[in-house]
Homo-oligomer: A and B are copies of this chain.
């Protein structure tokens, strides 16, 4: 049997770096991970990765040929192949990540942030297969987004397009990690919904099992569990989150008129608890011409290796464009 083409997908996170070899169909044939060791310089991470990638590749080498490397990393810039002052990584202002990989591998290397990689993953293998216009929103520690219009990911003039998490819900609202106030991220991220619970506990007199949990121990999963048991504060926290998310997504629809919006990761795992109010408030805030047109979908990527699939989709997409 002829050797099959694979790409390598690498996702660099603050804690772990996961990587794997992926077929064009989206099947991951092998994957592994190493601790990122965020205090180390980038060169050291790529050197350690290189050893482990080779280890993973060795038994596959006869059957698969590696055609390219896609890398997802925080603050990564698609145009420059760089990572610029990543939060949680002590890499300094600018690291040319693509060049570091090129030292070891003579194949095309593409770099982008994790939300853009997720969007390409959904387009090639997931819920957006066959779509040309859609938006992926990643609801995690932060709120990221990847916007696809006319079949192409929007990178913008500088490679940093798709920051829907930092559109402004309320200019006088909560502090955001970005230094401003009232960004969508300050409400729809994991810490955002926890803060909404605290506000509700302060405002309401209702009993809630969440009153027994120290604020620092609160998580979206705990809130979802309580909501499932009928806790009114927990349920209201999802209602508030969906209201704010739905309102801001209506603005996003007015920009690019997507066929679908895909909610990915973190809070999206709470299912109907977040999808139902988000959809309701999205529809309530849409301009007439967009009403009842936009699907709100969960990720179509397999749990577990979504980050590797997204990073691999980035480079598969590049290789297709070159054909």
Can you add 16 more A-B contacts, CB < 8 Å, to A158-B257, A163-B254, A168-B250?
A133-B157, A134-B157, A147-B256, A154-B257, A157-B257, A157-B259, A161-B257, A163-B257, A166-B287, A167-B250, A167-B255, A168-B247, A168-B285, A171-B247, A178-B287, A178-B288
- A162's closest neighbor in chain B, by CB? B255
Within 8 A of B (CB), among A250-300: 250-252, 254-259, 285, 287-290, 293
- Listed in ascending order, the chain A residues whose CB lies under 8 Å from chain B are 84, 131-134, 147, 149-150, 152, 154-164, 166-168, 171, 178-180, 247, 250-252, 254-259, 285, 287-290, 293
Query: CB-nearest residue of chain B relative to A131?
Result: B157
Q: When the two chains form their complex, are residues B250 and A160 in contact, meaning their CB atoms are under 8 A apart? A: no
Q: What separation, in Å, do the CA atoms of A180 and B289 have in the docked complex?
A: 12
* B257 lies within 8 A of A166 (CB): no
A180 and B287 contact, Cβ closer than 8 Å, known pairs A147-B256, A150-B154: yes
What are the residues of chain B within 8 A of A289 when measuring CB–CB? 84, 158, 160, 163
Tell me the complex Cα distance, A259–B131, Å.
Answer: 27
Q: Closest CB-CB distance, A317 to chain B, in whole Å?
A: 13
* In the bound complex, CA of A250 to CA of B167 (Å): 7
Residues of chain B within 8 A of A258, CB atoms compared:
156-157
Determine which of B159, B161, B163, B254 lies in contact with A166 in the assembled complex, contact meaning CB atoms within 8 Å.
B254
- The smallest beta-carbon distance between A63 and chain B, in angstroms, is 37
A interface: dominant SS: loop
Closest to A287 in B: B166
Contact of B256 with A255 in the complex, beta carbons under 8 Å:
yes
A170 CA / B266 CA spacing, docked (Å): 28
A-B contact pairs, 24 of them (CB 8 A): A84-B289, A131-B157, A147-B256, A149-B156, A155-B257, A156-B256, A157-B257, A157-B258, A158-B289, A160-B290, A161-B256, A162-B257, A163-B255, A163-B289, A163-B290, A164-B254, A166-B287, A167-B250, A167-B254, A168-B285, A171-B247, A171-B285, A180-B287, A252-B255
Least CB separation from A290: chain B residue: B160
Give min CB distance, A290 to chain B, whole Å.
Answer: 7
A293–B147 contact, CB under 8 A? no
A288 and B179 form a contact (CB under 8 A): yes
Cα A223 to Cα B164 in complex, Å, equals 35
Query: In the complex, which of the residues A133, A150, A178 has the most CB atoms of chain B within 10 Å of its own CB atom?
Result: A150
Nearest B residue to A152 via CB reads B150
CA distance A105 to B149 in the complex (A): 32
